[in-house]
Amino acid sequence: MKTTGKKSFSIHFWKSISSLIFQILLISLFIQTPASSQIEGRKTIKIPDILGYQTLKCDFHIHTVFSDGEVWPHVRAEEIWLEGLDAFSITDHIEYLPHKSDLQIDFNRSFELAEQRARELDLIIIKGAEITREMPPGHFNSLFLTDVSALDQPEVAQAFEASVQQEAFIFWNHPGWRQPNEVPIWYDEHTQLYQQKIMQGIEVVNYKSYYPLAFQWALEKKLTIICNSDIHSPIQMAYDLAHGEHRPMTLVFSSERSAAGIKAALINRRTVAYFNDLLIGEEKYLKALFEASVTVLNPEITFSQAKWQPLFIKNNSEIPFKLVRLSEPEPPFQSPPELTLEPERTMRFPVEGKTDGLTGDKTLTLKYRVENLLIAPEQGLPVEFKIKAIFE
């Protein structure tokens, strides 16, 4: 009986050990494999360069554990790399530090910890911070700082002055935050910051909120259009990256791939907001992006006996373009009332040209509006396709 008991104990013991080892291996695998590895390598964001500039994909509003974020600074560099962006700025709060009892707070430290990983991954990292005050004036990001700690001032005017002395680029964050129905309110304090040329830009999109009124202000007041994630959690907890979602980002049209190039572009308002499938910006940049993305593969169509002929349009970008016809083409032509140019695909659309008694060539002009390229609140980009119609 004693021998049987020992044997039973031994079998049970080794089964327990084997089970424990298996569980440890599973936990180890989970810990060593970041959630973002569900993306197979680095994503390529397929948006073309335009007007002689490089199109850089940027996020200028990111938090870490050094303010109220939930990740270590170097993780932000890894996320940016995996998602295919070019540049980012960690903008931890100056005045709001919920982890200060757990961490020794140094206002420059989050940048320092992320910088090495960013350099290793060939990313542009910009030193920044968030001035965090009650509304008005609210929250503002200062970019291209040399010493973040200088912004730790008792009065908000002193914090802005410290930013100006460092030649920072300053923009208003989430202007609709904590306002009724998220509708931004422009206070006297904002007029003062604007007139003093302290406020140079405004977030038209922050996290998952789009502010049409902020977009209108940006156009009217010549403020730089900014679009950021304001991410606090690990990025995959906010966006389903594996199924095509992406963080909001600012498309910056820069003369070079550098922090200096980005700063010059921001100052000169060469930006577009990229949010979900929306592009939001000035008409000249959206028009250039559309024209660089879309190609008509058969700009000449021959009509003979058949009434309908296919029009082939290729979309080289990752953005689906949703078009609505502005007006019917002149007789004898007809075209679809709506077109959707799916990303990275060639689409085929029917065009009608009645051939009765017609010979020779005729110009066919198709006029549409791109609903998801906003040149003003609720105003899509007008576009035209000119086709040479040949009648036989």
pLDDT at residue 305 in the model: 66
- Domain extents in the chain: 37-281, 294-391
Domain 37-281: state its class.
alpha beta
Prior bond of 136 cis (ω within 30°): yes
Q: Do domains 37-281 and 294-391 have the same CATH topology?
A: no
List pLDDT tens digits, range 92-103. 999 999 999 999
State the DSSP string of 123-163.
-EEEEEEEEE-PTTT-EEEEES-S-GGGG--SSHHHHHHHH
Q: Is the pLDDT of residue 1 over 70?
A: no
pTM of this prediction?
A: 0.88
Q: Is the pLDDT of residue 22 over 70?
A: no
Is the domain spanning 294-391 CATH 2.60.40.10? The answer is yes
Work out the angle at residue 76's Cα, subtended by the Cα atoms of residues 99 and 252, and round it to the nearest 5 degrees.
125
Percent of the chain with pLDDT over 70: 88
Count the Cβ atoms, other than its own, within 10 Å of residue 159.
22
List pLDDT tens digits, range 294-335. 999 999 998 876 678 999 999 999 999 999 999 998 888 889
Count the Cβ atoms, other than its own, within 10 Å of residue 97.
16
List pLDDT tens digits, range 339-358. 999 999 999 999 988 766 66
- How distant is the alpha carbon of residue 139 from its chain centre? 20
List pLDDT tens digits, range 176-189. 999 999 999 999 99
**C-alpha dist (Å) from residue 337 to 12, 325, 368, 369:** 73, 5, 9, 11
